[in-house]
Structure 1
Amino acid sequence: MRRLLFGLVAALLLAGCSSGADAVEVNSGGEFRFVEATPTGEVIPPGERATAPEFSGTLLGGGEFSSAELSGDVAVLNFWGSWCAPCRVETPEFQEVYADVRDDGVQFLGLNVKETDEQFALAFIERFGIEFPSLYDPRGEVALAFRDYPARAVPSTIVLDREGRVAAVYTGEVAQEDLRRVLAQVLGEA
């Protein structure tokens, strides 16, 4: 009986963790949450792609960033948090892909969301040796700009083509092999 009561109390406490006062309302009023991963990234046909919203912000560790800096390159936008267990698996794999494709016209940008303290995000980057930049977006304002895509799920990844259009969208953890396949396909477009 004691274990059952303890389990019930723990479940109630965990349920309360997802509703913070600074939560950003995106899409249908939802908050950042974990979701089941998409099995593979589907590349959106070029004629059906929408232009990604413009955004800007402050990079972790300082400095400003504007989405205009992605112009002309294929870009991988990854919404992550140090508190996100799948991000701990996915982010080091993203670093491996980034190291292989950064000289091929591909940029990576992390978007650190819902972090209560920038130091946690900086420690995460240092721990995993991440070299690509990340915006510090504690209130999820950039995610709000992407409200037409599932950027409120963490992790989420959006691949942009060279024209700044959304070419692929992932929710949940992305397999390294699948990201490589999608990038090769988008890079191969005329």
Structure 2
Amino acid sequence: MAARRLAAGLFAAVTATLLLAGCFGDGGKPECDNVDGIVECRPDQRSGAPRITGELLKGGSYDVAEQRGQVVVVNFWGSWCAPCRAEADDLEGTYQATKDSGVTFLGINVQDSRDKAIAFEEGRVSYPSIFDPGSRLALAMDIPPNTVPATVILDREGRIATVIRAAVRQEGLQPIVERVAAESPAPAGQR
């Protein structure tokens, strides 16, 4: 338990440093808005997401690069996490409400056992989850989440548009997802 707390503290410190470094340009002016744990970056200030690939909880593999052209909502969760249980219906509701507008969802299960993670997902969500017990995918993000649950919204070009460091509610998440989904993709020469 002490090791988990130490790792969480170190993760939070590294995240804060990366967030500050990633959200300030050469002139020291903020390039991303950070309000109440929600970091939103303007399209011209977004960084690309790291490679997000892995083994799915129920078998098979996933590569977010195959979703280019869609908005991808990535949720970091664990079966041991009470706020993750609380937000599951809101995530599924937002997924169902936005999937026809070019939005897909991906869960990333962290610090968990496969059996507990599969049992948690059963009947809660219909989108896939990568099994990542070592949290390597979260650590690879330019603006990594520093809490679980956390949600990262990638735009249609695979860039980090929004990071939410708290449990989400559909009434808060869905408008953000719809706003990112409504953005025009950059012309081919600017990608």
Shorter-chain TM-score bucket reads 0.7 to 0.9
CA distance in 2, matches of 1:88, 1:107: 20
Greater relative contact order structure (CA < 8 Å, 6+ sep): 1
User: Gapped runs of 5+ residues in structure 2?
Assistant: 16-34, 185-191
Give the corresponding residue for 1:9: none
**Within the alignment, does 1:108 sit opposite 2:102 as a pair?**
no
CA distance in 2, matches of 1:162, 1:91: 24
Q: TM-score, normalised by structure 2?
A: 0.78
CA distance in 2, matches of 1:100, 1:40: 24
Given candidates 135, 160, 164, the residue that maps to 1:166 is 160
Q: Deviations over 1:23-51 (max 9, x none)?
A: 58647468xxxxxxx64745321111111
RMSD of aligned alpha carbons: 2.2
What is the Cα deviation at residue 108 of structure 1?
0.2
Q: TM-score, normalised by structure 1?
A: 0.78
**Within the alignment, does 1:125 sit opposite 2:109 as a pair?**
no
User: Gapped runs of 5+ residues in structure 1?
Assistant: 1-16, 31-37
Give the corresponding residue for 2:129: 134
**Within the alignment, does 1:69 sit opposite 2:66 as a pair?**
yes
| Structural mapping, 1:1-190, within 5 Å | 17-20=1-4, 26=11, 28=13, 39=36, 41-115=38-112, 117-128=113-124, 130-146=125-141, 148-190=142-184
- The percentage of aligned residue pairs carrying the same residue is 41
Q: Is the 8 A contact 1:41 1:179 kept in 2?
A: no
Deviating beyond 2 angstroms after TM superposition, the runs of 4 or more aligned structure 1 residues are: 23-30, 38-43
1:127–1:184 distance in 2 versus 1, CA, 3 Å? closer
Q: Is the 8 A contact 2:146 2:165 kept in 1?
A: no
